[in-house]
């Protein structure tokens, strides 16, 4: 039986035909697409009851208006949306977050916790720490190393592969995630990246008078929140990545894993371990 997959976009431009062709190429996937703002009303347990996995390729809670006086406008999720999202987590909904989705809902810290990090388009606070705006680097050729070759989302993927794609430097909560892929790109500081805030003001590919602390080389991970298995994949900026065999395989595997009984059992095991650790 095919997996029923909801693909959510909105808030960030992308090349639609090459992106959606990825899902058309998956023989075991029956997918449909919803875009913000309509997609917001679809994220509740009733409407997602028969959906195996939700793929987020969106940035909710931000309106990007480059080269204006207010290039980044932030909005808060409604209390209804927050409640429904929590109900999805409690229902064990499988979630896959791609690339720029890590920038979603910047005013809602809980969302960053669910994903495992946050990309900041402008300076912001997270877990009581003040961060500068995050950094980007387009068209970066990286060697990607598989951290856990036995994990189901790495099935059929070589232990290392090369891909040309955008890289991010941003806060990642390494203590709350299970690593899957690492990049050999140098995340030591801001010198290898450009300021996203400056880019939104029209100064593309600039790091002048901008500093960012050392970043993580993790570019894919799994985690759980409540009963939901979750995957984040930092790759996926444009058509070159969309067409990459290993990227497609990683995404296909992620959809299969978050919607599997194996993933649900893993979540229960992780939750049991947490309870045991707290009792000790």
SS3 call for 242: helix
Question: Distance (Å, rounded) from C-alpha 171 to C-alpha 118?
Answer: 6
Cis peptide bond prior to 246, omega within 30° of 0? no
Question: Distance (Å, rounded) from C-alpha 241 to C-alpha 234?
Answer: 11
Tally DSSP H helices, then E strands, for the chain.
Answer: 7, 14
Q: What phi, psi does 190 have (nearest 5°)?
A: -75, -10
Q: Which two tokens stand for residue 200?
A: 């939104």
Give me the pLDDT at residue 1, please: 85
Contact 88, 224 (CB under 8 A): no
Contact 194, 204 (CB under 8 A): yes
Closest CA to 75 of 59, 58, 57, 63: 63
- Sign, CA dihedral 15-17-20-23, equals negative
Question: Distance (Å, rounded) from C-alpha 235 to C-alpha 263?
Answer: 22
The per-residue pLDDT string of the chain (280 residues; one tens digit each, 9 = 90 and over) reads 899 999 999 999 999 999 999 999 999 999 999 999 999 999 999 999 999 999 999 999 999 888 777 899 999 999 999 999 999 999 999 999 999 999 999 999 999 999 999 999 999 999 999 999 999 999 999 999 999 999 999 999 999 999 999 999 999 999 999 999 999 999 988 899 999 999 999 999 999 999 999 999 999 999 999 999 999 999 999 999 999 999 999 999 999 999 999 999 999 998 887 777 666 6
Domain range enclosing 138: 3-279
Closest CA to 244 of 99, 123, 70, 52: 99
Q: Tell me the CATH number at 216.
A: 3.40.50.880
> How many domains are contained in the chain?
1
């Amino acid at each position: 039986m095919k997996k029923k997959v909801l693909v959510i976009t909105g808030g960030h431009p992308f090349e639609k035909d090459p992106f959606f062709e990825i899902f058309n190429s998956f023989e075991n996937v029956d997918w449909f697409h919803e875009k913000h703002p309509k997609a917001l009303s679809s994220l509740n347990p009733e409407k997602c009851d028969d959906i195996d996995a939700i793929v987020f390729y969106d940035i909710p809670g931000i309106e990007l208006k480059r080269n204006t006086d207010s290039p980044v406008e932030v909005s808060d999720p409604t209390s209804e949306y927050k409640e429904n999202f929590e109900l999805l987590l409690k229902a064990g909904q499988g979630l896959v977050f791609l690339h720029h989705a890590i920038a979603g809902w910047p005013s809602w810290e809980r969302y960053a916790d669910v994903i495992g990090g946050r990309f900041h388009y402008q300076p912001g606070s997270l877990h009581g720490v003040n961060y500068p705006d995050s950094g980007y680097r387009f068209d970066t050729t990286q060697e990607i190393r598989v951290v856990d070759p036995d994990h189901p989302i790495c099935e059929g993927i070589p232990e290392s592969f090369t891909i040309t794609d955008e890289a991010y430097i941003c806060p990642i909560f390494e203590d709350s995630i299970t690593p899957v892929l690492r990049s050999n790109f140098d995340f030591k500081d801001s010198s290898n990246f450009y300021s996203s805030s400056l880019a939104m003001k029209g100064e593309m590919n600039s790091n002048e008078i901008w500093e960012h602390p050392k970043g993580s080389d993790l570019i894919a991970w799994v985690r759980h929140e409540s009963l939901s298995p979750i995957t984040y994949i930092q790759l996926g900026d444009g058509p070159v990545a969309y067409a990459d065999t290993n990227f497609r395989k990683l995404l296909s595997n992620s959809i299969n894993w978050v919607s599997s009984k194996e993933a649900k059992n893993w979540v229960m095991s992780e939750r049991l371990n947490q309870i045991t650790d707290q009792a000790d």
